[in-house]
Amino acid sequence: MGGTTIRWLLRAVETAVRLPTFARTGQFGDGREAAVRDRVLARIPAGDPDAVLAAMDDFARHSSMLVNVGDEKGLILDAAVSRTRPKVVLELGTYCGYSAVRMARALPRNARLVSVEFCADNARVARAIIAHAGLADRVSVVVGTIGDGGETVQRLVDEHQFTPGTVDFIFIDHAKQAYLPDLKTILEAGWLHPGTVVVADNVRIPGAPAYLAYMRGENGRSWRTVEHRTHVEYQSLFADLVLESEYLGAPA
């Protein structure tokens, strides 16, 4: 077995081991998030989001694992954004800003993306990367969590004008056990409308079984879901699942 294959297998194992840890802690805390920020700011010309994404992908593949949605699953996200053409996007789980950059670069000038991140350190890294990509005018990063008893939900209402029927697209990629409770909180707030699209990453690994069961149970009733079979970010050994769900409205 060659050295390249061994390194690839070690990185695949690292991915499988670290993803569940990330679901609990929100970051690895070993400096890799700051390191990718510093590399982007030092080596990539400002205002080039495609180059920023390429640099982050290269860092994750060859330097230190990052739990971005990644380049393979990123194409699924790209296609969903392109089909939906959203004016208001909500992201749950900013991490280093990769998916925010990925989505925001495809949005029209009058569109906006609000990303909720519970780790303040990650939020600072993400803001720097988003600004360097030239997208700070359409992306806001809010430190908080939908499940904090209403504080963050109220901030989204007060500071970002999240009112009934305003959210066109949601990308969910934060704590996996929060996928379904947070979606239900958003539904209760009334922010969605028929045609709103919700994309959820890592539904198989680390796994969001309650969310998967809910979407399967509601398929054809309040949601129409496509299950995209893909791989865990930055390798091809471990299978993953991305759900793309269109809201049909509350069942009669």
- Where in the sequence numbering do the catalytic residues fall? 173, 176, 201-202, 233
| Count of alpha carbons within 13 angstroms of residue 227, beta-carbon side | 12
Using the structure block, give the residue that is written with the tokens 């079984």.
209
Which pairs from 208-215 meet CB under 8 Å and 24+ separation? 208/176, 208/177, 208/179, 208/180, 210/177, 210/179, 210/180, 211/176, 211/179, 211/180, 211/183, 211/243, 212/241, 212/243, 214/180, 214/183, 215/243, 215/245
Q: Which residues pair with 243 in a beta bridge?
A: 200, 227
Rounded to 5 degrees, φ, ψ at 114 are -115, 125
Q: Which among 62, 64, 60, 63 has a CA at the least distance from the CA of 98? A: 60
